[in-house]
Structure 1
């Protein structure tokens, strides 16, 4: 496996770029998380992963169902219009973030959130708002958002299950293609919370559902296996 080069920079300015075979990632301040290229099969994908552990666990993937790219690809925060784009050898540009404003700089935060900012320092896009298959500490899954499983630990394409925080306040695990109660694999049985319910994960590993008034509707942590590590349910 190719050794990646990681670049520890707090704020990444326009004109900065990454390459699978050179500087491949931008690190968070502590070095725990990284954003950039990671190896996927015989190619590379773009995402956020845990750089501070040997496994380099992927926690977010951009355009997850797009095939991996070759080592000649470039990830660029464009100087002209502040777009974060993936450029391939076929001269195709794919946007990593769908933004309506110009990004002045980007940052990989120690929370695992990859963020784009405008010239006033306001957040215009963040990976926490578009989760793929993982929820990180301090991240919130509001209704009616979903987490979709990956095909495997090494293939982050969309798998066969999804977890939906429903508008009725119920958190439900469905098979893809059959999002109806009869086919649900699991549900939290929390109802009538309005459309402001959310799934939350705290830094201490507590996983819980908040209702529309901000009170805990259900603590899910006790439903996890006792011998598992924090953050894993």
Structure 2
């Protein structure tokens, strides 16, 4: 089976996205550069949105902050190429614009005009309209990782990174199919049984089944009525001083990772 559980020596902290969350408020016109003021942090410093180092250049995404080896959990425009240290991120009413020697592109594009943004302590980066309603959120566009309280909805997929150090799209995908089946395939293979190398065997469970991760490490499939149709892990893992994420890795294996948490002053590291 391609789904396994792993433990890592890294640090993070997650809270329920449905609960009242601490948040950082980012105003229009705010900017970032790779070498100075490179990230917008969540209020407690658990997550950061901004530039992260990849090789000799930089990518844009969300990382678990304050770790010796920063853990990337989401990448913007992941196949759009890297930028040098003279690039700039600018928060505009259209979203997050990246200015570089290659020109100007929106790496986060809002469907409507936005007024503010936040990096939440759930790991979700969100854009708000003038009524403080969320109009865009990174949780709806996962790349290779799911965080607690985040769901992979029917018709969506996670795609493995190219390698541990290159977070562009790799060669494996984890698909939450509209037939209710969670299946892993090579990226270029057709979505039919002979090409799959893992399946949840839940085809026929409904057209809107989602893959979910609980704060206790519980990985499970839900249908639209909220009924649990299959457990991929039992959950019930420690939540005090522990946190979890799940990711399809470069080798095509879907793993659940455990993180240790410790507090240093007013931030978690």
TM-score (normalizing by structure 1): 0.89
Inter-partner Cα distance in structure 1 for 2:173 and 2:144: 8
2:104 is aligned with 1:93 = yes
Aligned-CA RMSD value: 1.7
> What residue in structure 1 maps to residue 36 of structure 2?
22
Mean Cα displacement is larger for which, 127-136 or 214-223?
Answer: 214-223
Inter-partner Cα distance in structure 1 for 2:224 and 2:204: 9
Runs of 4+ in structure 1 deviating by more than 6 angstroms, as ranges, are none
Quote the offset at 1:174 in angstroms: 0.5
Task: Tell me if the contact between 1:151 and 1:157 (Cα under 8 Å) persists in the aligned partners.
Answer: yes
Mean Cα displacement is larger for which, 29-38 or 211-220?
Answer: 211-220
> What residue in structure 2 maps to residue 122 of structure 1?
133
Normalized per residue, the structure richer in strand is: 2
Task: Tell me if the contact between 1:206 and 1:221 (Cα under 8 Å) persists in the aligned partners.
Answer: yes
SS state at 1:182 partner: helix
Quote the offset at 1:193 in angstroms: 2.2
Task: Tell me if the contact between 2:139 and 2:150 (Cα under 8 Å) persists in the aligned partners.
Answer: yes
Deviation string 1:50-96 (CA, Å, 9 cap, x unpaired) is 00322210000000011110000000012xx4431000134x11111
> What residue in structure 1 maps to residue 72 of structure 2?
58
> What residue in structure 1 maps to residue 81 of structure 2?
67
Higher relative contact order (CA 8 A, sep 6+): 2
Deviation string 1:96-130 (CA, Å, 9 cap, x unpaired) is 12222111011000010000001000111110000
TM-score (normalizing by structure 2): 0.78
5+ residue gaps, structure 1: 1-8, 224-228
> What residue in structure 2 maps to residue 107 of structure 1?
118
5+ residue gaps, structure 2: 1-22, 236-242, 247-255, 257-269
> What residue in structure 2 maps to residue 180 of structure 1?
192
Aligned length: 218
Quote the offset at 1:189 in angstroms: 0.3
